[in-house]
Every structure is written in structure tokens, then in C-alpha cells.
Amino acid sequence: MKIYLAPLEGLTDYTLRNPFEEVYGQGKVDKYFTPFISPNSSERFLTKEMRDIDRLNNTNKNVIPQVMTNSSKDFIWTIKKLYEEFGYKEINLNAGCPSGTVVSKGKGSGFLGDLDKMEKFFYETFSNPYIEANNIKISVKTRIGLNDSDHWEDILDIYNKFKLEELIIHPRIRSDFYKNDVKLEAFNLALKKSTNKVVYNGDIFTRRDYLEFIDKFPDCQAVMLGRGLIADPALIDVLKADNPKDYVRDLEYDKERLSKFHQRVLEERLKIMSGDKHAIHRMKEMWCYMEYVLDDKKDVKLVKKSQKMEEYKLAVKVLLNNTNIEEKEHISFWKKH
């Protein structure tokens, strides 16, 4: 099974991706997706976007930049720049973001509300001579609809008209955000009908979730995980084991690695974030997921309350001294997104 790390804005930029690869991935993650770049007509990337795609910060070959736009013109200049200046040969389009400001502009999952526009967008992109000549690969990460899933088949029909590198499906509609049950029947339809290779994404948080998934969909060749791998990065060993069901974890070693991973992410973030506040805020975001695999959550409160860097570091030290990692059967994230 191929395993991809999902793009999570605010979490999976290079300051997390690189430590992830160093400490856990070591070749096990088949693709790392960047959080979305949002191009506009200025034809320039933001400093933050530049940093995240800069090859000096992305020594792994398997990093796929994600772009969110509904303008083929902007998509094409972005693809050209990513290819020419940074050497990226595969680009992912975001057709899933549920955020209000994005959807109101007809982007992300908002794109799924105007299928004629979407088809024209793909036509213009795929018939672009530069993209054709350089054989640049384009994949899509999609939801199954905007306000409902009634048009999922129509959406699939459009994707089927083009030669996508792959179609990554998060089987929810926009209003679900990241909660409510995933619609597995919609994914099943895609497995049957899609002429493009499909990748599953959504709510695989634990070994049990993964085993249930592969049991239901034995033909699926690739899955993308987001929150599950942030909460429990060592889950990657289970997913990639020859026999995931019987793979025995060394939870002490996993805790050592969690500590190292945390330390490396913090170091990377401190290199670019001035002031404690921003870096701490970003680290706390990680704990909002990682706390779910601790056997005792009470010391996380101190981590979340800390304001100054020294306070934060001490709180993490206390937390890691007092708690152990547990492999959970089931996780239910509280976060609305």
C-alpha cells in the first residue's frame, strides 16, 4: 500500500515534513503534499510559500506541491514556475478546502459548485502546450460535492475526461468540514467508475481503522492520512508492515521518537519564527492531535497554557516524563476541522 501524508495547513509545512522523514518516514511515506499555495495574477509566490517549496528545504524527491485556484491562467503560470524554477514535475490541485473565504470565491470545494467552469479549467490546463510538452503530471484532491453528493457521478465524469496522475478522494461534502461520517459508498463508486487511479483519504486514525479499510477495499492501492499521522506518527510503521495486524509496536521507542520529532520540529520553526508566540502557537496545534495517543492527558494542559518559550519547553519536558504512548483502537478528534 502506498501511504501519503496529507497537506494540513499550519502543520505539515517543511518544518514538520523534514523531521517526519528523518525520524519516522525513512522512505516509508510515498508522497508528502504541501499545504496549498494560492496563486493570484501577480505571478509571484508569497515568502511563506517560497520557503515551503524551496528545494533547499525539500531534499526529499517525493514532495508534491498543492495549488488552490479556479483560474487556469493562474494554475498554468504556477505549474510552469514550479517546474522551471524548482523542478516539480507533479502538482496537486485542491478541490476540497471547505473554508468559507475559499468557497465563496469558488475555489477548493467551491469549485465543485460550477462543473462547467471546472471542465473548462481542466480542458485549458491539459491542452496547454507547455504542460503537454513537459509531461507535467497533475493530480486532484477532491471532495464528493459542495452542498450535497448528488452530483458526485457528474464530477467523476469530468475527472474521467482527463488523464490525471491520480484522484485523491476525501468522501465528504463541504458542509461536513472534517466531521460526520465519511461516505464510503461514494468512494466505492469512484473505485468502480474512475478511469484515473484513486487514492482514499479520510478518518484513518488507528491500526483498526486501517485494517477495516483494507478489508473493505482490498483493491485500493494508496491511502492518504492527515490527522492520524500527526497524532501518532509511528503509525506509519504499522501501515507499512508486512502484516499490519500482527505488527508489534515498541511504545517506549515510539515515545523516544516522539520526543525527538517534537524537538526537531521546534528547532526548525524557531529558525524562521520570530518571537515565542507564533512558534508556540504552531507547536500547540501539534499537541491538539498528539495528545490523543498519550495515556494521561492532564499535563497537556500546562503545555497549552504556556506563553513563553522556556515555560513551553519545561511543560513539554514534564509531559514527556509523566506520560507514555498508548496505541488507541479508536480516536475521535474534537476539532471541528
Q: Which residues are annotated as a binding site for FMN?
A: 66, 141, 170, 226-227
Q: Which stretch binds ligand FMN (CB under 6 A): 73-81, 148-156, 200-208, 271-279?
A: 200-208
Smallest separation, CB 88 to ligand FMN (Å): 16
Site for ligand FMN in 250-309 (CB under 6 A): none
Site for ligand FMN in 6-65 (CB under 6 A): 6-11, 35-36
Q: Which stretch binds ligand FMN (CB under 6 A): 38-46, 72-80, 225-233, 257-265?
A: 225-233
Does 96 bind ligand FMN (CB under 6 A)? Our answer is yes
| Residues contacting ligand FMN: total by CB under 6 A | 24
225, 238, 290, 316: residue in contact with ligand FMN (rule CB under 6 A): 225
**Site map for ligand FMN, 105-144, x if CB under 6 A?**
------------------------------------x---
Does 312 bind ligand FMN (CB under 6 A)? Our answer is no
Q: Is 97 a catalytic residue?
A: yes
Q: Which stretch binds ligand FMN (CB under 6 A): 57-65, 92-100, 130-138, 250-258?
A: 92-100
Residue of 97, 229, 293, 325 with catalytic role: 97
| Three-class secondary structure assignment of the chain | CEEEECCCCCCCCHHHHHHHHHHHHCCCCCEEECCCECCCCCCCCCHHHHHHHCHHHCCCCCEECEECCCCHHHHHHHHHHHHHCCCCCEEEEEECCCCHHHHCCCCHHHHHHCHHHHHHHHHHHHCCHHHHHCCCEEEEEECCECCCCCCHHHHHHHHHCCCCCCEEECCCEHHHCCCCCCCHHHHHHHHHHCCCCEEEECCCCCHHHHHHHHHHCCCCCEEEECHHHHHCCCHHHHHCCCCCCCCCCCHHHHHHHHHHHHHHHHHHHHHHCCCHHHHHHHHHHHHHHHHHHECCCCCHHHHHHCCCHHHHHHHHHHHHHHCCECCCCCCCCCCCC
Catalytically active residues are: 97
Q: What residues make contact with ligand FMN under the rule CB under 6 A?
A: 6-11, 35-36, 66, 94, 96-97, 141, 170, 178, 201-204, 225-228, 337
